[in-house]
Amino acid sequence: MQWNLEQIRLFVSVAEGQSFSAVARQLRRAQSAVSSGIALLEEDLGVQLFDRSSGRQPRLTDAGRALLEEAREVLRQCQRLEGRALGLARGEEARLRLAQDEAMPYQPVLSSLDALGRAFPLLEVQLASGAQGDVARKLLERRADLGLLFHHEQMPDALERQRLGTIEMVTVCGAGHPLAASTSAYADRRELARHRQLLMSPQDSHYPGGEQLSPQVWRADSFYVMAELLMRDLGWAWLPRHVAQYPAYQDHLIELRSDWTPPSLVVELVCRRDEALGPAALWLADSLAEHLHAMG
């Protein structure tokens, strides 16, 4: 087939304008040039697109109606190609891969991605979620461009981090746990130490909330896994407030007052030192910081 984009544009224009002469006037061409372009397209496609015997206004044939949306999609794809090329020429990324800790509060992330999609409509975005350690690993293996995670001390030297905001930690146990039996729901450090404690793993991660109070400890690599264990009254733990208040855990988890709670989780945006961030990544970083601040 030898048809070209100009013929496709003529086909769509005539179909929408319902007149060869109107399209010719709009394009400042002879009507015969428009008719010839449509005729060549019909010859290349092997079908008749317009019924010219129905009067002054050409009407789409059944084949023309079937192919019209396909033709429009060809033109839309051309616009996407031109837009993507223009963005690349301006230094914009063609793709942005974001890896995040699975316990990251979802509302700031979703709000930021919603705004990113409007600001960079042609950007391809890939999202990945994982438990502790997965985010940094994806960055080191170049399987992610940006990482959204909670601060911990043992950050690889190849990664650079930027503080975005903080997330409050709370002391939590299951509704049927002995610590929840008190009407005041208060437990000091000594009382907490009498019961099994759930902590993030591994032991040497220096992850927030990693101080061991109890001699009996279970460890997990996910705050959500810890919450599931808490619902089964298998211990107590420090969780991010938004995890403890997740709808599925309502009425199953009890927030305890205590004489000590870990400092807030620090949310960080992490990238490789040897790779400069593009405009979309920098824009997303600012948006995430703004939405996290608003949540706090």
Residue 47 belongs to domain with CATH number: 1.10.10.10
Whether residue 24 is found in the same domain as residue 134? no
Residue type, 181: A
How many independent structural domains does the chain possess?
A: 3
Tokens (6 digits) for 35 = 């008719």
Cα–Cα–Cα angle for 128, 138, 295, nearest 5°? 50
Residues 109 and 218 in one domain: no
Q: What is the pLDDT of residues 187-237, one digit of tens each?
A: 899 999 999 999 987 555 555 557 889 999 999 888 899 999 999 999 999
Considering the domain architecture, whether residues 135 and 181 belong to the same structural domain is answered as no
- pTM here is 0.62
What is the spatial distance between Cα 61 and Cα 38, in angstroms, rounded to a whole number? 13
Domain final position from 89, 115, 148: 89
Boundary residue ending a domain (66, 89, 112): 89
pLDDT for 218: 95
**Residue 250: which domain range?**
169-256
Q: How far apart are CA 4 and CA 244, in angstroms?
A: 59
Question: Which pLDDT score, from 0 to 100, does residue 38 have?
Answer: 87
Q: Are residues 231 and 274 in the same domain?
A: no
